[in-house]
């Protein structure tokens, strides 16, 4: 099991450090002819598949590249709107790469504060006095571990970054991430 991200949240629920330790892989790339047999929609400044799941392309996947050129949100690398570009029959055949969209900074902040809220609720609802709250949230595809820290201020230290990346590499090579992992 790999470590995808590290979030450090203070007692108030504010995100004070975040590190992504993975590169999202493209899920599928396919060459299409006109008309496109997928329904694409703009959502949160990203072009996402809304209907027409096929070829390992799933609903919710984002358009990552067109004809080998990266897409930035709703625009191609040369500044054209993706939906407008794909709506023009003159641009076909076209090769489109799809994949899971990366979280935006705002989404990372919301994720950290939501998890902190769940942690706090779990601490208060526990029948045991002095409960530590949520320690691990497990699904069929990932495990979310929660470790407490006394840190309050944002972490901006190159030495911290280097040591954390080294610890992640060691943990990945060892293949163990604590009990039950």
Residue 50 sits in a domain of what CATH number? 2.30.42.40
Question: Are 129 and 150 within one domain?
Answer: yes
Final residue of a structural domain among 39, 67, 99: 99
pLDDT value at position 129?
78
pLDDT value at position 1?
59
Whether 70 is covered by a domain: the verdict is yes
Helix (H) or strand (E) holding 172: helix 158-174
Read off the tokens for 124. 């208060």
Tell which residue, 82, 84, 70, 88, has the closest CA to residue 46: 82
pLDDT value at position 95?
94
The boundaries of the domain holding residue 126 are: 5-22+104-174
Residue labelled with tokens 């191609």: 76
Final residue of a structural domain among 99, 129, 151: 99
- Please identify every stretch of the chain with a pLDDT value under 50, giving residue numbers as ranges: 179-181
Question: Are 15 and 35 within one domain?
Answer: no
pLDDT value at position 112?
85
- Asked whether the whole model's pTM tops 0.75, one would answer no
Question: Are 89 and 110 within one domain?
Answer: no
Question: Are 84 and 32 within one domain?
Answer: yes
pLDDT value at position 179?
47
**CA end-to-end span of the chain, whole Å?**
8
Question: Are 93 and 111 within one domain?
Answer: no
Question: Are 136 and 110 within one domain?
Answer: yes
pLDDT value at position 100?
84
pLDDT value at position 24?
59
pLDDT value at position 26?
58
Final residue of a structural domain among 99, 125, 158: 99
């Amino acid at each position: 099991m790999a470590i995808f991200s590290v979030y450090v949240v203070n007692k108030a629920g504010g995100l004070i450090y975040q590190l992504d330790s993975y590169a999202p892989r493209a899920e599928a790339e396919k060459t299409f002819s006109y008309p496109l047999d997928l329904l694409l929609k703009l959502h949160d400044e990203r072009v996402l598949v809304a209907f027409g799941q096929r070829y390992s392309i799933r609903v919710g996947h984002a358009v990552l590249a067109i004809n080998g050129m990266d897409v930035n949100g709703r625009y191609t690398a040369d500044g054209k709107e993706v939906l407008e570009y794909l709506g023009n029959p003159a641009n076909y055949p076209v090769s489109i790469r799809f994949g899971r969209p990366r979280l935006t900074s705002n989404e990372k902040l919301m994720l950290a504060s939501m998890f902190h809220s769940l942690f706090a609720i779990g601490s208060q609802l526990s029948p045991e006095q002095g409960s530590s709250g949520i320690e691990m949230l497990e699904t069929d595809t990932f495990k979310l571990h929660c470790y407490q820290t006394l840190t309050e201020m944002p972490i901006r230290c190159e030495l911290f970054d280097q040591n954390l990346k080294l610890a992640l590499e060691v943990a990945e090579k060892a293949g163990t991430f604590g009990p039950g992992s």
